[in-house]
Amino acid sequence: MEAVATTGPRSAGSIARACIARGADLILVAGGDGTLNEVINGAVHSDVPIGLLPGGTANVLGTELGMGGKMEHAAKLVSDAAQERISLGRLRAAGEDPRYFALMAGAGLDAHIVYHVSAPLKSALGKIAYWIAGFVHGLRILPQFTVEAGGQKYRCSFALISRVRNYGGDLWIAPNISLLDADFEVVLFSGSNPLRYMIYLLAVLLRRATNIKGVTIFRTDSVRLSGAEDQRIYVQVDGEYAGRLPAEIEIVPHCLTLLVPPGFSRPDLETDRTWTTLPTR
């Protein structure tokens, strides 16, 4: 077994590629969702299993898999873990290289917050830093943009294109999607008035966001997002800044092997929830 430390942002992907080239048969990622995302981009389309030892800010994947956020607890599950071939999302944003993601992509409000959150504040306060940035930057008029999928167009100020139920480790916004599925659950929040998001936030906390006006949900395997040329609409993947619109996001089926705890399965459906499945490509 070999331990290799990252040397800075965007270094974990090249480390993963080098390990695979040297014949590694397992890669364990000790870090948060951002580090995991880098490793995924280095390991995509290989057969080498990727396992997580959570140690980041939100640990969304650790929560999603039922591992929690404790590295020691996760390490005990590795020997009994199962290998699942999962699908990933792939983002093509303006002027950026394609970026794969396991958890989610967000455009609009949440990506604006990710872009502006202070790195020292994030290091010191963890998830609280995002809430602070949200209150500071969420008090402005929110630009709306266009989301196209299945031949239909929507206008919104926040789009979540999700592969997981958990958002930020604490909230459920897309509770009927699973890493084992081969599509996205897309949740769109419309409106430019920031006060409207107070209602949305309360609804999310009560797990009732799907029942209020201004929220649109559907399932699809690809979306296109575009905004006005004079607007900077940011996009994030797995909690990390990833560029700005226009962007295209699509499913890449069964392209990564992930270690999951024994008994991991699709979540129970929210029985009072309805969604639309759009035509695929």
Model confidence at 273: pLDDT above 70:
no
Q: What is the DSSP letter of 18?
A: H
Bridging pattern class, strands 222-226 and 234-237: unpaired
> What is the percent of the chain with per-residue pLDDT over 90, rounded to a whole number?
54
88-252+265-277: what fold? Tumour Suppressor Smad4 (2.60.200)
- Which residues have CB under 8 Å from 216's CB, separation 6+? 154, 156, 186, 187, 188, 190
How many other CB atoms are there within 10 angstroms of residue 278's CB atom?
Answer: 17
Cα–Cα dist 216/156, whole Å: 9
Burial class (CB in 10 A: 0-12, 13-18, 19+), 111: buried
Q: Matching CATH topology for 12-87 and 88-252+265-277?
A: no
> What is the percent of the chain with per-residue pLDDT over 70, rounded to a whole number?
85
- With contact defined as beta carbons under 8 Å apart, do 32 and 26 qualify? no
Q: Which CATH architecture has domain 12-87?
A: 3-Layer(aba) Sandwich (3.40)
pTM above 0.85, yes or no: yes
Q: Where are the domains of the chain?
A: 12-87, 88-252+265-277
User: 31-40 pLDDT, tens per residue?
Assistant: 889 999 999 9
| Structure tokens that stand for 31 in this block | 């870090």
